[in-house]
Chain A
Amino acid sequence: MASNRDRAYGNDSQSMSGGDSADQSTADAWSSVYNAQHEQQPQGNPNLQPVQSEQGQEVLFMCHGCYNEFHAVPNSEFPVLCPRCNSDFCEIIDDPEDDPRDMIETTDDEDEDDEDYYFHSRHPIPDMPFTAFGGPYETRSERERQNTANVMNFVQFLSTIMHEGQQNASNTAGGSGRAMTGRTIATEDGSNHPMLGSTMGPFNFTVNFGIPPGVPRSAHEEAVDNSNNISPMEQLANFLQQTFRGIGVEPHVGNAQAAQGAGGQLPDLTSQLLGRIFNVSGNPSDYVFSNRQLDQIITQIMEQTAPSNAPPPATAGDISALPTTVLTPELHEQSSDCAICKDQYEASETVTLLPCKHFFHPACIKHWLSISDSCPICRHPITAGTASPPSDNAEPEQPRSAPLEPEPEPLDD
């Protein structure tokens, strides 16, 4: 059991070699944000200098505070601080026999339910806004903190996904299959993606909670957060709006409808988002995600193809050539209502008479014959019986391919 687990981790860390450099870039990004936030504060953290500067000596750390994994250079004088949550409770991951991540998987001392716990450990989303910005979360009630953190986790998860999508759009080499890791924000070669320097980083939307007055904030944060009192739900709504707007102008979307921009296209954009999450190529609405949807499509196809051997429509010429007659008492006795609309005929109403001697409201039978050349009552086609003289038809008409059958007697007597 333990060996399996270890092997699994071995594979995992090998397959994540690309992702590790991404982590490093993530760490860079976080640290640059951190430094931007704290440049006026006395206690800078030297360990948060870009770790790429000393290549070959950096090792993998895991933060026990937020389960972040990052590369840093061990330093005997300063404790290594987690670049996300600033915790110094960080452990070097060097011994596969004693991998601290095993502890994460197996311990459950926080009494979280499995799903939350899984999410948390696989998508290490930190409480960064509360700690790194000196937020007063310790003074909040635990429940409130938890609620806010849930929303924040979701927002950050979304923003990471969206960011991933943008990366895929500009980096055609792909990164397929990594969207769900929720942590990859660098290109394959480990170089920082240009987007990291832009305002589209995954941390832009995480800054509005618990920022004490007086903490310096970037201009972008000021722009995002004009009032300090935005609730988590408003925050989420803002985020979604911005994100969808972001998709709307993204070249990856490529269709003019989406490029027209912002509002009113939520279903389309939601499917875009789904597409991002499931990493599908092409238009996500081309996919189905459940058996029921697949069955519906098959049903639709069956319905569309089924009427192929139904009688074809009658031509407009044939329909307009049908005689009309004023309803006589004899006819009225024969049939008192129109079989199509079920309305009673009125005395001396005009009806259309078919070759089979059945009659209907002119509008009703015209509509039906334009769908199918058959009498609604006896299925007799209107063309087989009359074979109206060609001179009556102004428009050129193909002769019926089927040979005319001997005219059957009307069935209505």
Chain B
Amino acid sequence: MALPKRIIKETERLVSDPVPGINAVPHEDNLRYFDVTVDGPSQSPYEGGVFKLELFLPEEYPMVAPKVRFLTKIYHPNIDKLGRICLDVLKTNWSPALQIRTILLSVQALLGAPNPDDPLANDVAQRWKEDERAAISTAREWTQSYAKSDDA
């Protein structure tokens, strides 16, 4: 199965013109599967953390959205314990004009703007609404515990 030209172009551009704070590298044996790291945005409880994600381009891409999932444990109302992300552009608001880089930018933006009113992790979202300071503090702790960049 030949890789669509669009995927090749996107991959080349991700390497030659990387998005600051975002790194996406395709697997050698599967060029549709990317190892991704996203830096936690500054001014957010995720600041200083480096979050690992996996990104997969389905056969129908770009007619369907990439599948993106957090691999690093993260305390966020829109990301559940399996790393699944509640993000409109990954679901209903996907458009073929979006790309890997724009999707990952959206993910990074989501870290900076948690939305507990559209939760995926209900317990986190509830805590976020009831006691935002405590929730943010937990998010910061988790960032320190799980998202420090020392690659073991």
Residues of A participating in the B interface, judged by any CB pair closer than 8 Å: 295, 299, 302-303, 306-307, 309-310, 339-343, 364, 367-368, 371, 374, 376-377, 379
> Is there contact, CB below 8 Å, between B91 and A376?
no
Taking CB atoms, residues of chain A closer than 8 Å to B20 are none
Bound Cα distance from A341 to B4, whole angstroms: 9
Q: Which residues of B contact A377 (CB under 8 A)?
A: 95, 97
Residues of B within 8 A of A (CB): 4-6, 9-10, 62-64, 82, 84, 91-97, 99
Task: Say yes or no: A295 contacts B82, CB within 8 Å.
Answer: yes
Q: Are A310 and B91 in contact (CB under 8 A)?
A: yes
A318 to B137, CA, bound (A): 52
CB contacts (< 8 Å) of B6 on chain A: these are 340-343
Say whether, besides A299-B84, A341-B5, A367 and B93 are in contact (CB < 8 Å). Answer: no
Cβ–Cβ < 8 Å partners of B94 in chain A: 310
Indicate if the CB atoms of A340 and B91 lie closer than 8 Å: no
Contacts of A340 in B (CB 8 A): 6, 62, 96-97
Is A371 touching B92 in the complex (CB atoms < 8 A)?
no
Question: In terms of DSSP, what is the predominant structure of the interface of chain B?
Answer: loop
Chain A residues with CB under 8 Å of B99's CB are 342
Docked complex Cα distance between A368 and B82 (Å)? 30
How far is B95's CA from A377's CA once the two chains are assembled, in angstroms?
A: 7
Measured between beta carbons, the chain B residues less than 8 angstroms from A343 are 5-6
Partner of B92, one of A307, A341, A376: A307
Expressed in whole angstroms, the minimum distance between the Cβ of A306 and any Cβ of chain B is 5
Tell me which of A299, A307, A374 contacts B95 (CB under 8 A). Answer: A374
Q: With A and B bound together, what is the CA distance between A243 and B12 in angstroms? A: 52
Bound form: Cα–Cα A303–B92 in Å: 10
Contact between A342 and B5, CB atoms less than 8 A apart: yes
For the complex, give the distance between the alpha carbons of A341 and B95 in Å: 12
Find the B residue at minimum CB distance from A365.
B96
Known contacts A341-B5, A342-B6, A368-B63, A306 near B96 by CB under 8 Å: no
The answer to whether B97 touches A376, judged by C-beta atoms less than 8 angstroms apart, is: yes
- Please name all residues of chain A whose beta carbon is closer than 8 Å to the beta carbon of B96 when the two chains form the complex: 339-340, 364, 368, 376
Q: Please, which residues of chain B bring their CB within 8 A of the CB of A368? A: 63, 96
* C-alpha gap A295/B94 in the complex (Å): 23
Task: Decide if B9 touches A310 in the complex (CB within 8 Å).
Answer: no
A341 to B5, CA, bound (A): 8
CA A149 to CA B103, docked complex, whole Å: 57
What are the 5 A-B residue pairs with the smallest beta carbon separation, nearest first?
A310-B92, A376-B97, A339-B97, A340-B96, A376-B95
- Which residue in chain B gives the minimum CB-CB distance to A306? B91
Q: Is the CB of B91 within 8 A of A342?
A: no
Write the nearest CB–CB distance from A337 to chain B, whole angstroms: 9
